[in-house]
Structure 1
Amino acid sequence: MERHLDSDAVWSICQDKKLQQKLKEYLGEDLVLWRSEIWVNYPSQQLIPFWHQDSYPNLLQGEGKTINVYIALTEVNEWNGFEYIPNSQLTPDVSVKMKDPFSGNCLFDLTEDLEQQAVPVVLRPGEFVLFTNQLMHRSVRNTSGQVRLALTLRLTEPCVHIVPNYTPIYHKPVLL
């Protein structure tokens, strides 16, 4: 899933004026892309069906802001996308079901009441949503009959650094 600006199409998406304007409003003038991912969700499948919080913040060190951009390359809707719950709505009784050995993500067991508060992400191709690590999310079972394709960009300020033992396919972060 990890791809770092190795195609003209991905690079052109990163150069989108509206996207860069929104990112600069949050992060300032210097934008560092430290990770990007292509997500494909085929019909009747789920990528990560369990409620989880990304462990990506564990790959960064230093004080500064980070932001994630989820860009729809195809239609994203309540039948093929993902849903989220802001951390502010989580209750203290949320328990860890298990830890994913591959990603390091904790997978949570949520109550039905809490799951009903989930917000589905709905986007047309080319639309994007910015999000922080302050949410819990899961992929939904794709019953749309169409493949969902999306790009996630993970950005930070130059004062935040990647931990030394992280080795992305692309050899170092890119200043956008």
Structure 2
Amino acid sequence: MTQQSVDFALDSAEIEQFHRNGYIGPFDLYDEGEMEQNLQRLRPKLINTKASIYSQKQAVSGSTNLANYDRHLDVDFLAEHITRPEIVDRVSSLLGPDVLCWRTEFFPKYPGDEGTDWHQADNFSNVAGSKHPQIVWPEDSEFGGTITVWTAFTEASVETGCLQFVPGSHKTMHYDESKVMTYDPDSINKVEKDGIRRGFFGYDYRQLQKDPDWSPDESKAVSQVMRQGQFIIFWSTLMHASHPHSGLTDRMRLGFAARYLPTQVQVYPHSDALQEFGGAASLDKYGAVMVSGEDRYRHNTFVDHTVNGFRFPVR
């Protein structure tokens, strides 16, 4: 069992705010100087993807960028980051005492890059090229999705492409994730929607719309400006996007997303490989991380402790 602090737990008003809007924050985690030092030490480790559980050596097919998924399983700083009480206490306030982190991803945005298109994610099946959901909530659950904790490893401003949310939009799904989007890497940075360059890393979320004539009400959108070292918490079913990088500065924007679930949710229950963005990699080395409480369900694979830099799945 993981010992948990309650120092950073959300109060009742904050919990109500989260359920109303679908997000809460930003919160302070690192000061800017500390985060910059962490980032400088982190960069060489991120470039070296040989230790990644989805390294090219482990790839099942294709030239995959999946090597930078789940780097908390081989990079100590990221392993510590996802278990920070400033994050875990708040997430546990929303999901209950037994919580796992099932996935992490980096979201870089370079000068001139397009914005991320408006989207929602419930079971994460659509980008996998199959109808298999990546996460499965119990049948009697009132909702699905995952809680995402997005940390600004660099400053996130409108100019550098910060997140955008439509408050309250997490309660209605406008996309059908039983459909499959077509991956087209040639479309990256080349799609314009309503006068703004927006894409989804080679996918077009319009292919999943339940109503082809529907479009998000961007008049209600709120830009999530964050200083370096802050994080924000939101439901993956919240309508979210990001601004394009204006190119007015040569500094990239780097976000790190950690995704959390209560332990009753099944992770990758129908898959033995992760398939996204034109590539596939084996899940043989994958394991979720318990960050709070204990696992009472025994239907997920977890990683145990680190031994000589490697984390071993517990099955």
Q: TM-score range by the shorter chain?
A: 0.7 to 0.9
Aligned to 1:174: 289
In 2 relative to 1, CA 29–101 (structure 1 residues): closer, same or farther, beyond 3 Å? same
Asked if residue 125 in structure 1 is aligned to residue 228 in structure 2, the reply is: yes
Runs ≥4 residues deviating over 4 A? none
| 2:164 alignment partner, one of 80, 83, 93 | 83
Give me the TM-score of the superposition, normalised by structure 1: 0.80
Match of 2:239, SS state, is: strand
Shift of 1:166: 5.6
Aligned to 1:61: 136
**Which residue does 1:151 correspond to in 2?**
256
Task: Give 1:27's aligned residue.
Answer: 95
Match of residue 9 from structure 1: 77
Name the residue aligned to 1:165: 271
Query: Which of the pair has more CA radius of gyration?
Result: 2
Question: 1:38 and 1:89 mapped to 2: Cα distance?
Answer: 23
Once residues 109 and 272 of structure 2 are traced to their aligned partners in structure 1, the CA distance between those partners, rounded to angstroms, is 26
Q: Which has the higher helix share?
A: 2
> 1:95 deviation in Å?
9.0
Query: Percentage identity across aligned positions?
Result: 23
The alpha carbon displacement at 1:100 in A equals 3.5
Q: Which runs of 5+ in 2 are unaligned?
A: 1-67, 126-132, 184-199, 275-282, 292-315
Offset at 1:164? 2.0
Report the AA paired with residue 137 of structure 1: H
SS of the aligned residue for 1:83 comes to: strand
Q: Does 1:106 align with 2:205?
A: yes
Higher RCO (CA-CA < 8 Å; seq separation 6+): 1
Distance 1:87 1:166, change over 3 A: farther
Cα offset, 1:25, TM superposition: 0.8
1:115 Cα offset (Å)? 1.4
Alpha-carbon offset, residue 105 of structure 1: 6.9
Letter in 2 for 1:175: M
Report if the CA contact (8 A) 2:169-2:239 is conserved.
no
Segments of 5+ residues of structure 1 without an aligned counterpart are: none
- SS of the residue corresponding to residue 68 of structure 1 reads strand
Deviations 1:117-144 (A, max 9, x none): 2111111122111111232222211125
1:138 corresponds to: 241
Structure holding more strand per residue: 1
2:137 maps to amino acid: G
- Contact 1:62/1:159, CA 8 A, preserved across alignment: yes
